Amino acid sequence: MEDLDVAIFETFLNSHDMDDREWFVPDWPELFDEWATGPMAVRGAHDCPDATRREAGRCFQALAEAEPATAEAVMAARDVRDGFMAMMLDGEPPGALDGMVRGLSVQLGVGVGGGVTARPAEGGPRGAAALAMLAAHRLVVSGAWPRLRLCKNEACHWAFLDRSRNGSRVWCSMGTCGARAKARAYRERQRAG
């Protein structure tokens, strides 16, 4: 379950990209549906196994198909996403998210063996935000939360799970952001020396 929760959380937070493409735009709620039903909802969890990424994508697609996006719902989802990002980047207290998630609703049920299950009670962007919130909760409970990071590249800030042995990873990908940072540092050293 942890890999799926990582994929869901990363996908939700990575609903923007390095080219300043924003998928949660209240003036164009149809972009949310395009994101949730297209390849971006699969690509967003870039460091998860392909099958898990596809499963997370199907979760978001089902929510988008269950309820059409509205400007208000897109803004609510964007506020939750940006609240998570602020908390992870700036160390903002988690309480700041409290007001943002109050409008989200979840449905509790009893699963196999009597365990409690939780899922979004509505579809669309609010459902996507609730799904990400539930995934974050399970990641906290599992102990994986401290390894969730945002890329150090200020033009990126994509979410990833630091799977390194010593927990020191700072880039979403060494092939893109890490390589760019190293090249930039090299050029600066060459100019200074």
Does position 29 have pLDDT exceeding 80, yes or no? yes
Contacts of 171 (CB under 8 A, 6+ apart): 151, 152, 153, 177, 178, 181
pLDDT in tens, 34-80: 999 988 777 778 778 889 999 999 999 999 999 999 999 999 999 99
The band of 1, judged by pLDDT with boundaries at 50, 70 and 90, is: low
Where is pLDDT greater, at 69 or 89? 69
Give me the helix-helix angle, 50-66 and 124-142, nearest 10°: 140
DSSP states of the chain: -HHHHHHHHHHHHTSB-TT--BS--TT-THHHHHHHHSTHHHHTSTTS-HHHHHHHHHHHHHHHHHS---HHHHHHHHHHHHHHHHHHHH---GGGGHHHHTT--EEEEE-GGG-EEEEESS-HHHHHHHHHHHHHHHHHHHT-GGGEEE-S-TTT--EEE--STTS---SS-IIIIIHHHHHHHHHHHHHH-
d(CA 181, CA 93): 29
pLDDT at site 186 = 63
Q: Write down the domain spans for the chain.
A: 2-149
**Lowest-confidence pick of 21-25, 87-91, 147-151, 185-189:** 185-189
Dihedrals phi, psi of 63, to nearest 5 degrees:
-65, -40
List the structure tokens of 39. Answer: 């390849």
pLDDT at site 11 = 94
pLDDT at site 118 = 92
pLDDT at site 187 = 73
Where is pLDDT greater, at 178 or 9? 9
Highest-pLDDT range among 10-19, 46-55, 70-79, 104-113: 70-79
pLDDT, mean of residues 152-177: 85
